[in-house]
A = this chain, B = another copy of it.
Amino acid sequence: MAEIRVASVQLAPVLGDYEGNQARVVAAVTHAAEAGAAVVVVPELATSGYAFSSVEEARAVARPAAVALEPWVSAAASSGCIVAGGFAELDGDAVFNSAAIVSGDGVRAVYRKVHLWDRESLFFSTGSAFPPVVDTAVGRLGLCVCYDIEFPEIPRGLALAGAELICVPTNWPDEGRPSGERAMEIVRAMGAASSSRVFIACADRCGAERGVEWVGGSAIVSESGWLLAGPPDTSSSALLLADCDLALARDKRLNERNDVFADRRPEVYRGALE
């Protein structure tokens, strides 16, 4: 397979502004596709904003998946790309911090975040299924959301399930770091990518919300763990682009004798990861 262009879009959703947020996502997807992107990753909770004060506030901006994702399918269809991103999902009275992969043909996967961060547990119900890997025309895409990737089981499990590119919609609060260091969120993504030889595209949000600032952690990481794009210099909006040969992620060999998957010893790990 030839290279495909991957985009990570850092943008600023506005808390509670569902229609405006959808317009921002569609504009960003269209813009990225015009720049040649075949896969466009947008942030976690891109349709809703993040810093809710009550479940009612979260519910008011949540929509059933088919409703929330219809504009994304339309944008994907008109621009010919695949979109991965996060949205507030309504299911009955329950609200989930969900993410989806959509193509012009429709919704390919909806995932409900299984590791909720901090006050998210006050507003969101918790997912109960391992995140998905979706076969698309441009490659096999994995999906997880924000804090999920801090659990080594998640990127590892997605790569073992065949993901060539893991899409990570995220809202990473800025918790500080030593001077001169990259955000630890990016360090973890680099390590996870290199350990499983899988591309990872993180799309972080920007725009302070009720006092929460963000780390500006959008990045596209190669299957060797090195940064292909990002993080942006600032915590403002950004479009990151990188050309990725996803065939590299199907080849787990490191040299003539080593292969990061064939060298695994599941019988040795058994019981150690419970």
A192 at the interface (CB under 8 A from B): yes
A266 at the interface (CB under 8 A from B): yes
From the candidates B178, B187, B272, name the one contacting A157 in the complex (CB within 8 A): B272
Interface contact B114-A153, CB-CB below 8 Å:
no
The A140-163 residues at the B interface (CB cut-off 8 A) are 147, 150-153, 155-157, 160-161
The A120-172 residues at the B interface (CB cut-off 8 A) are 121, 128-130, 147, 150-153, 155-157, 160-161
**A187, B188: Cα distance in complex, Å:** 8
Interface contact B191-A273, CB-CB below 8 Å:
no
Q: How many copies does the complex hold?
A: 2
Interface contact B194-A187, CB-CB below 8 Å:
yes
Interface of A is mostly: loop
Interface contact A272-B152, CB-CB below 8 Å:
no
Determine the residue in chain B with the shortest Cβ distance to A256.
B118
Interface contact B226-A272, CB-CB below 8 Å:
no
Give the chain B neighbours of A119 by CB distance below 8 A. Answer: 257
A264 at the interface (CB under 8 A from B): yes
Contacts A188-B194, A194-B187, A273-B269 given; does A258 touch B225 at CB 8 Å: no
Determine the residue in chain B with the shortest Cβ distance to A274.
B266
Interface contact B153-A115, CB-CB below 8 Å:
no
Contacts A187-B225, A194-B188 given; does A118 touch B272 at CB 8 Å: no
Determine the residue in chain B with the shortest Cβ distance to A155.
B152
Interface contact B130-A269, CB-CB below 8 Å:
yes
Interface contact A118-B257, CB-CB below 8 Å:
yes
Give the chain B neighbours of A121 by CB distance below 8 A. Answer: 257
**Shortest beta-carbon distance from A88 to chain B in Å:** 19
Give the chain B neighbours of A195 by CB distance below 8 A. Answer: 150-152, 188
**A222, B118: Cα distance in complex, Å:** 23
Give the chain B neighbours of A190 by CB distance below 8 A. Answer: 184, 187, 191
Interface contact A150-B260, CB-CB below 8 Å:
yes
**A57, B189: Cα distance in complex, Å:** 40
Interface contact A268-B128, CB-CB below 8 Å:
yes
**A265, B272: Cα distance in complex, Å:** 14
Contacts A156-B273, A160-B273, A192-B152 given; does A265 touch B187 at CB 8 Å: no
